[in-house]
A and B are shown apart, each in its own frame.
Chain A
Amino acid sequence: MKHIKQFIAIMLFIVLFLVSFQYITHVFNYKMGENDTVGSFYKEPKDSIEVLFVGSSHAHSSFSPMELWNETGITSYNLGTSSQTIPCSYYLIREGIRTQHPKVIVLETYGVKYDVDYQSTARLHIALDEIPFNKTKIEILTEFLPRTMGGVEERLEYCFPIIRFHSRWKELTPADFRAENVFLKGYRLNCNPRKQQEPVRTTQKEEVWAGMMEYFQRIAELCEENDVELLLCNAPMSKCNKYKSVTQKMNTFYEYAEEQGISYINFEDLREELDLDYQTDFRDKEHLNLYGARKITTYLAAYLTEHYDLTDYRDNPKYEQWNKDYDDYINLVKK
């Protein structure tokens, strides 16, 4: 009897520790701005998302799930994180398929410009930390990170991010305990126009990194295995230093996509159709603001309804929350 009691006490301790440790890790993890993009994604009801946007800051600046909902009633989520590389996108897509099994994945392809697995350790944390301890996480730790990180100690902080973030106790805010603006669904709202110049379109090509292509292959295969449609696209950029190199790499990449029969939308070719205004639609040299994002989202809304079998949930009482979220979204936009 005594032994059983002791055993239960020890088990209780371990369970309490694991639960509290997971919670504390989540609290201390770095949250991008006010939206905890990846963390909040896991809180969406299972299999409730039909379209998943994945990619870099261009993804989270250009695709607004709430606008898409308002126009079409399609449920979507934006898993764009800062300077996300294609390998990181792969792991997020894996998790997206596992938890939501979306019908379409829209991969924003700014990531093809990188010739590294990750752009900085901080960005790696933002993209991958909230993935819970499962097969995907183990593969990240044992397969992906060792590609570039030698020491176990260097990799350890991706298994236990608290190693990196524990000193954040000084700057914790209520948003660290409870994510704010969850209704943005990963979209990064910005309403400030900054005048930009229209860049000269280039048709030249530049080689892309094989290490990236390897992971893109895996994304394509993963989508095919799971019957998920893959749609590639970019976001228009204004005139900036990176413009030439990024678009040249995308040209190469889209040519490859065409050969493989993978759908893509090159928004650089659709400037007129979008009626893109370089005076009002950008928030900085590279990224669209809300006005630009609305144009992109409207275009995508039409494209998605035309090409894929997606559902309009607007009148479905189960999705009532989405209507409320849209109201919150509009209130925030008005502010």
Chain B
Amino acid sequence: MQFDSFDFLIFFPIVCFLYYAIPYRFRHIFLLVASYYFYMCWNPKYALLMLISTVITYLSGILLHRANQITQAGKREKYRKLCVFASFASNLAILFFFKYFDFLINSINRVLAYTHVSLINVTFDVVLPVGISFYTFQALSYTVDVYRGDIYREKNFLKYALFVSFFPQLVAGPIERSKNLLKQINVKHEFDLHKVHSGLSLMLFGMFQKKVLSDNIALIVTQVYDNYSKYGSLELIFATVLFAFQIYCDFGGYSNIAIGASRVMGFELMENFNTPYMANSVADFWRRWHISLSTWFRDYLYIPLGGNRKGRFRKYVNLMIVFLTSGLWHGASWHFVVWGGINGVYQIIGDLFRPVRDKASELLGIERKTFSHQLLKVIVTFVLIDFSWIFFRADYVGQAFAIIRGMFTRIHLRVLYDGTLLNLGIDTKQCLVVLGFLLILIAMDICKYLKIDLIEGLSKQGIWFQYAVYFFFIYAILIFGSYGPGYDASEFIYFQF
């Protein structure tokens, strides 16, 4: 079930109530059952897949612990590495089969088509299990953490299974670390009204991001991207800028709901998005965007590859590996790989040209700490990131190039004043409302960037003010949110009869 479904609106309060009502020692079992139920609402069969991943990584923890007891150093290392290898190989094999098999076959076939060799026919259809990329990574982090000795292995299988399947963050993150979440499963969470309050506020805000902003913006973006050849430069740019906010509000909103829902039950998940579009460089962006994934790649791929300790060339190679893999993680398609690649290249170029930039600003006497210079950096970073989003959003690489070409060739300035921009996919009124709410979001992000904690600050205000804010967001969602079968005035128009 989705967070923005009616089912979840019923499911979540019941789970929370029972969670606090039952004795502590049963709570993890209860949450485990609730989590599996949550997951099985999509497709019961896939729960089995998650269970397999859980069992493998659980066993890897147990075996690593045993291996640690081997006194002979060489043998010990050999066994330890074998455990990690087995866990990674089997988990990645499952992930690969379910997520990338079709992609691989298609890619091979495209190459074969050039060489006129007969194509491979696949007779079975693989459907991507929900959240497989998320929980697989989360489970794998446990294997490595135990291997590194960062945490102790978890003996209780049920508690470990809950760590992998914890429903708030199961299907779309944040991808938690055992160091954080597994430990919290062993802590008794007392009912804390302050936390519940804060969690619910965060969920409300996440829902606002998802239903009011993301889902409405999606209507504009879909309209333009699906008919890109009909639109000129400014419409394409407008839609692309909006897409940056669509994906931020979608993903960030989902993360906020996940973090909020966990907080209601006393769990504190890691932050996943920290005002990403306030970043002043691409590298900075990646420290603020989907933090749980970026740090996963840093901790479990970039650093094991040698990170930046093995010279500049190796650092660049490692960066590219990380970003290409990240692209592929986002979806089994070449346009995601290109998107990842662009982000890798940005950072390499940025790094290579750093001395040049330093020199240039010194020669030109640019004061780098000024607001104007910082703002310029933020804008340039946004443009670079947004450019890469074209590849992310497009259905295939060729389409992305066609859209970019359109941006530079079909320039019609009249759309600026003839209202075209406000009538893409949604009508002018709706578009203006969405843009107005977007300004609120940007203002809130600026506050967060300036280290003003709005949720904490709100809880200190007078009750009338708090309620006014809550009702503002609740009714913004209920009225302007994108949900329901839709109301078509023409269906009602003949009702004089």
A residues neighboring B (CB under 8 Å): 6, 9, 12-13, 16-17, 20-21, 24, 28, 30, 32-33, 57, 82-83, 120, 122-123, 126, 152-153, 156-157, 162-171, 188, 284, 286-287
Partner of B495, one of A126, A156, A162: A126
Tell me, in angstroms, the Cα distance from A169 to B478 when the chains sit together.
11
Given known contacts A153-B6, A170-B429, A171-B489, is B497 in contact with A57 (CB within 8 Å)? yes
Given known contacts A20-B471, A170-B430, is B495 in contact with A157 (CB within 8 Å)? no
> Shortest Cβ distance from B215 into chain A, in angstroms?
12
Residue of A nearest to B497 (CB): A57
The interface residues of chain B lying within 8 Å CB-to-CB of A287 are 497
Q: Which 6 A-B pairs have the closest CB atoms?
A: A163-B484, A82-B495, A122-B491, A57-B497, A170-B429, A122-B492
Do A122 and B485 have beta carbons less than 8 Å apart? no
> Shortest Cβ distance from B412 into chain A, in angstroms?
28
Residue of B nearest to A165 (CB): B487
Do A164 and B492 have beta carbons less than 8 Å apart? no
Do B6 and A156 have beta carbons less than 8 Å apart? yes
Do A170 and B492 have beta carbons less than 8 Å apart? no
Do A166 and B497 have beta carbons less than 8 Å apart? no
Given known contacts A6-B193, A82-B496, A122-B495, is B427 in contact with A166 (CB within 8 Å)? no
Do A167 and B475 have beta carbons less than 8 Å apart? no
Do A167 and B487 have beta carbons less than 8 Å apart? yes
> Shortest Cβ distance from A209 into chain B, in angstroms?
21
> Shortest Cβ distance from A284 into chain B, in angstroms?
8
The interface residues of chain A lying within 8 Å CB-to-CB of B478 are 21, 24, 162, 166
Residue of A nearest to B490 (CB): A122
Partner of B467, one of A16, A28, A33, A83: A16
> Shortest Cβ distance from A93 into chain B, in angstroms?
21
Contact with A along B465-487 (1 / 0, CB 8 A): 00100110011001111011111
Do A167 and B491 have beta carbons less than 8 Å apart? no
B residues neighboring A (CB under 8 Å): 6, 193, 427, 429-430, 463, 467, 470-471, 474-475, 478-481, 483-487, 489, 491-492, 494-497
The interface residues of chain A lying within 8 Å CB-to-CB of B467 are 12-13, 16
Tell me, in angstroms, the Cα distance from A164 to B478 when the chains sit together.
11
Tell me, in angstroms, the Cα distance from A33 to B493 when the chains sit together.
9
> Shortest Cβ distance from A39 into chain B, in angstroms?
15
The interface residues of chain B lying within 8 Å CB-to-CB of A21 are 478
Do B484 and A164 have beta carbons less than 8 Å apart? yes
Do A17 and B474 have beta carbons less than 8 Å apart? yes
Do A24 and B486 have beta carbons less than 8 Å apart? no
Given known contacts A20-B471, A83-B497, A188-B496, is B485 in contact with A166 (CB within 8 Å)? no
Residue of A nearest to B428 (CB): A170
Partner of A164, one of B193, B480, B487, B496: B487
Do B491 and A13 have beta carbons less than 8 Å apart? no
Tell me, in angstroms, the Cα distance from A82 to B493 when the chains sit together.
11
Tell me, in angstroms, the Cα distance from A17 to B463 when the chains sit together.
14
The interface residues of chain A lying within 8 Å CB-to-CB of B481 are 166
The interface residues of chain B lying within 8 Å CB-to-CB of A6 are 193
Residue of A nearest to B471 (CB): A20
Kindly name the residue among B484, B486, B494 whose own CB sees the greatest number of chain A CB atoms within 10 A.
B484
Tell me, in angstroms, the Cα distance from A90 to B99 when the chains sit together.
55
> Shortest Cβ distance from B191 into chain A, in angstroms?
12
> Shortest Cβ distance from B259 into chain A, in angstroms?
22
The interface residues of chain B lying within 8 Å CB-to-CB of A9 are 463
Kindly name the residue among B6, B486, B487 whose own CB sees the greatest number of chain A CB atoms within 10 A.
B487
Do B6 and A120 have beta carbons less than 8 Å apart? no
The interface residues of chain A lying within 8 Å CB-to-CB of B427 are 170
Q: What are 12 pairs between A and B in contact, CB < 8 Å?
A: A13-B470, A17-B471, A30-B487, A57-B496, A123-B495, A163-B483, A165-B487, A166-B484, A166-B487, A167-B487, A169-B479, A170-B429
Tell me, in angstroms, the Cα distance from A9 to B489 when the chains sit together.
40
> Shortest Cβ distance from B16 into chain A, in angstroms?
14
The interface residues of chain A lying within 8 Å CB-to-CB of B485 are 157, 163-164
The interface residues of chain B lying within 8 Å CB-to-CB of A170 are 427, 429-430
> Shortest Cβ distance from A6 into chain B, in angstroms?
6
Tell me, in angstroms, the Cα distance from A284 to B494 when the chains sit together.
13
The interface residues of chain A lying within 8 Å CB-to-CB of B491 are 120, 122
> Shortest Cβ distance from B462 into chain A, in angstroms?
11
Given known contacts A166-B481, A170-B427, A170-B429, is B492 in contact with A33 (CB within 8 Å)? no
Q: A24-B475, A28-B479, A57-B496 are in contact. List 11 more A-B contacts (CB 8 A).
A: A20-B471, A33-B495, A57-B497, A82-B495, A122-B492, A126-B495, A157-B484, A162-B479, A163-B483, A166-B484, A171-B489
Residue of B nearest to A30 (CB): B492
Residue of A nearest to B488 (CB): A122
The interface residues of chain B lying within 8 Å CB-to-CB of A13 are 467, 470
Residue of A nearest to B194 (CB): A6
The interface residues of chain A lying within 8 Å CB-to-CB of B497 are 57, 82-83, 284, 286-287
Residue of A nearest to B463 (CB): A9
Tell me, in angstroms, the Cα distance from A167 to B494 when the chains sit together.
19
The interface residues of chain B lying within 8 Å CB-to-CB of A126 are 492, 495
The interface residues of chain A lying within 8 Å CB-to-CB of B471 are 16-17, 20
